[in-house]
Chains A and B, each alone.
Chain A
Amino acid sequence: MGNNSGNAYQPRPVSIIRTLPQINEHRLFQLKLEDGGSWEDFGHQPGQFVEVSIFGKGEAPISISSPPTRLDALEICVRRTGRLTNALFDMEKGSHLHIRGPYGRGFPVEILKGHKVLLIAGGLGLAPLRSLLLYLLDKRDKFDEIILMYGTNNPDNVLFKYELLGFFDRDDIKYLYSVDRDEEGIWKQYVGVVTGLFDQAELSPHDTYAVLCGPPVMYKFVLERLLSLGFPKDHIFMSLERMMKCGIGKCGHCAIGDKYCCTDGPVFPFTEIEKIKEAI
């Protein structure tokens, strides 16, 4: 786990290289290890998370937004929402904090190789999914067609806006964006819930893998749509969110049936959780 102390709970010191404002109350933090270790040795995979500690404030699980193909910094995209994230937003370039990890089962990159990949993100769900998206793009020749469907509630809340705008210039990724509401009439793309984007995509379910990350309400509708389109159940992967404390399957908070989101997930094949009532 990149932790040599033998104590799985031991946090490692990191500092902030820079903070990049995203949308209101959301920021991207670039981190540097301060204990002499490298991000290469850290060994994170797309879809994994870290436990972030701020002195005296506590510890919280945050997904990693950067791929292992970009090792200059570890990036975490954070919404200001509680005690720890409030303290994080008071920090700036050079501030010190701690992390431990990487934790959890990430996206199944080996399974995706050679196949078409449909990424479906809602809201802040793009934060973990971005690690996979950039990984796919950095190893573009290993994958077939890439389609990104991204929905937010309104045009002001599009994360990684400039990165996404850049995709307009690429012909090796198909991008479909939606907003639930567009009161000011400024949105040039689709207005409506993210499932509406399925009408704009030509999908071939049997050689495509669907990878989902979004708010709980999104899963039910997207799953229904994928299954009705004929996606085999074992072609659907989803990153689930749960309240986590320890990250190593001990504290019990993130249990889903007989699984723990922090160690068995956060990315689950749909086939593993479809029979667990409280999963989705």
Chain B
Amino acid sequence: MKVLARKDLPDVLKNWSDSYDVFAPSMKETGDVIFDRFDADTFTLEYGKPSLPQKSEFLPQSEVIFELKKGEYREVMAGSGKMLFGMRACDVMGMRQAGSFMKRDVTDPYYKSKEEGILKVVMACSGPQNETCFCTTVGSGPFAEAGFDLQFYDLGDEFLVEAESERGKQLIADGFFGEIDAAEAGTKIEEFKVHASKAIKEVPALKEAMERLRDGSVSEKVWDYFGRKCIVCGGCAFVCPTCTCFTVSDFQTQPGEGLRVRSWDACLFGGFTREASGHNPRGTQALRLKRRHEHKLLYYNETDVLEGLCGCVGCGRCSDYCPVHIGTLEVVKAIAED
């Protein structure tokens, strides 16, 4: 454990930028905060919950996986020398769950190469970032337990900095980072964690909903209701840290040459399960919404969810962004009240 004065953080990030492509929260002119290449002028720590998880760093919205040339499929493998500074604990859990799935049984080499190359620096949350946060219910936050290189605890004038990996230890070996008595650090972090966890409200409906799904007592009317409201935008899946479904398409760029591209897909779309014959085993929007939520809350893989409760990491973004209010919070409430 080390300690860093708050005023020194921009200089530290600047130093790290010499060795890594540092991506950190950046306040844009429009008032939006996005993760962008570190720039001392726009860097901010007042970023709350980033609009998007960092999923696209590991599984880009669209990526070329093969180049087609002279009758061959030539592998296109992008590595990454990036550092992500300021990840939230829920998103780290999302990344870890997605990583477990993508590397289980058969390894997805594209995901693995990017995941291994990226340095992950977490900023522990001192409380909920907004009213939809429910990380404590699903065991994903407000601080990360594993899967990061460094974790910062914001104590006001200073940060306590915890290294989890060898790479992380190297990063905080320089003069900006001071030593701190282990017992003193332990007490301060414990206080921070207790205070942060208490501040985030529990969602008992989530566990009730999981039980109801398990015993098969959820009425189809719940799904019919949401199915009628859904506008099939797919946004809930795209902002979800654990949604990794993709489709693969070929594009001919010129005669004899082309690209094989994979891009995000979502179980909310009718074409997602439609077979060549025209038959669709998930033929209604109600069934598709049921699938999405059953995958998170019932059919998740025990190994992939790691120390989490289920396949949802409680970031609340689906509830933040769904234009017609079909987020996990709304769905588990409807199931619990059904």
Q: Which residues of A contact B (CB under 8 A)?
A: 1, 5-11, 13, 53, 55-60, 79, 81-82, 85, 96, 98, 215-216, 241-243, 245-246, 248-258, 263, 278
User: For the side of the interface on B, what is the size category?
Assistant: 35 or more
Q: With an 8 A cutoff between CB atoms, is B132 at the interface?
A: no
The 5 closest A-B pairs by CB, nearest first: A252-B245, A56-B252, A258-B299, A248-B106, A56-B258
Q: Which B residues between 239 and 284 are near A, CB-CB below 8 angstroms?
A: 244-252, 256, 258, 260, 265, 267, 272-277, 279, 281-282
Known: A57-B250, A81-B277. 5 other contacts (CB 8 A): A9-B109, A55-B250, A98-B73, A249-B105, A250-B106
By a CB distance below 8 angstroms, the chain A residues around B291 are 255, 278
Q: Which residues of B contact A (CB under 8 A)?
A: 65-66, 68, 71-73, 75, 77, 101-102, 104-109, 244-252, 256, 258, 260, 265, 267, 272-277, 279, 281-282, 287, 291, 294-295, 298-301
By a CB distance below 8 angstroms, the chain B residues around A242 are 273, 275, 281
Check B276 against A56 for contact (C-beta < 8 Å): no
By a CB distance below 8 angstroms, the chain B residues around A251 are 245-248, 265
Q: Give B274's nearest chain A residue, CB to CB.
A: A243
* Pick from B68, B106, B295: contact of A255, CB under 8 Å: B295
Check B72 against A13 for contact (C-beta < 8 Å): yes
Check B279 against A253 for contact (C-beta < 8 Å): no
Chain A nearest CB: distance from B283 CB in Å? 10
Q: Give A279's nearest chain B residue, CB to CB.
A: B281
Q: List 16 A-B contacts (CB under 8 A).
A: A7-B77, A8-B107, A8-B109, A11-B73, A53-B73, A55-B250, A56-B68, A60-B276, A243-B272, A243-B276, A246-B246, A249-B106, A250-B106, A250-B244, A250-B246, A254-B273
Q: Give B245's nearest chain A residue, CB to CB.
A: A252
Q: Which of A60, A79, A251, A257 has its CB near the most chain B CB atoms (within 10 A)?
A: A251
Bound-state Cα–Cα, A252 to B263, Å = 12
Check A96 against B71 for contact (C-beta < 8 Å): yes
By a CB distance below 8 angstroms, the chain A residues around B258 are 55-56
Bound-state Cα–Cα, A250 to B77, Å = 17
Check A59 against B106 for contact (C-beta < 8 Å): no
If A7-B109, A278-B281 touch, whether A245 touches B248 (CB-CB below 8 Å) is yes
Bound-state Cα–Cα, A1 to B107, Å = 13
Q: Give B246's nearest chain A residue, CB to CB.
A: A251
Chain A nearest CB: distance from B337 CB in Å? 22
Check A245 against B247 for contact (C-beta < 8 Å): yes
Bound-state Cα–Cα, A252 to B296, Å = 13
Chain A nearest CB: distance from B243 CB in Å? 8
Check B248 against A246 for contact (C-beta < 8 Å): yes
By a CB distance below 8 angstroms, the chain B residues around A6 are 109
Q: Give A256's nearest chain B residue, CB to CB.
A: B281
Bound-state Cα–Cα, A37 to B32, Å = 54
* Pick from A55, A81, A253, A278: contact of B287, CB under 8 Å: A278
Check B273 against A253 for contact (C-beta < 8 Å): yes
Bound-state Cα–Cα, A56 to B257, Å = 8
By a CB distance below 8 angstroms, the chain A residues around B247 are 245, 251, 253
Check B272 against A258 for contact (C-beta < 8 Å): no
Bound-state Cα–Cα, A96 to B295, Å = 39
By a CB distance below 8 angstroms, the chain B residues around A257 are 294, 299
By a CB distance below 8 angstroms, the chain A residues around B245 are 251-253
If A250-B106, A278-B291 touch, whether A58 touches B248 (CB-CB below 8 Å) is yes
Bound-state Cα–Cα, A13 to B107, Å = 22
Bound-state Cα–Cα, A57 to B251, Å = 7
Q: Give A240's nearest chain B residue, CB to CB.
A: B281
Check A13 against B265 for contact (C-beta < 8 Å): no
Q: Which of A81, A82, A85, A250 has its CB near the most chain B CB atoms (within 10 A)?
A: A250
* Pick from A10, A215, A250: contact of B277, CB under 8 Å: A215
By a CB distance below 8 angstroms, the chain B residues around A245 are 246-248
Bound-state Cα–Cα, A58 to B260, Å = 8
Check B108 against A250 for contact (C-beta < 8 Å): yes
* Pick from B104, B252, B275, B282: contact of A278, CB under 8 Å: B282
Chain B nearest CB: distance from A67 CB in Å? 24
Check A10 against B272 for contact (C-beta < 8 Å): no
Bound-state Cα–Cα, A251 to B273, Å = 11
Q: Which of B73, B246, B265 has its CB near the most chain A CB atoms (within 10 A)?
A: B73
If A246-B248, A263-B105 touch, whether A13 touches B299 (CB-CB below 8 Å) is no
Bound-state Cα–Cα, A258 to B101, Å = 13
Chain B nearest CB: distance from A59 CB in Å? 6
By a CB distance below 8 angstroms, the chain A residues around B265 are 251-253
Bound-state Cα–Cα, A93 to B84, Å = 52
Q: Which of A1, A56, A79, A81 has its CB near the most chain B CB atoms (within 10 A)?
A: A56
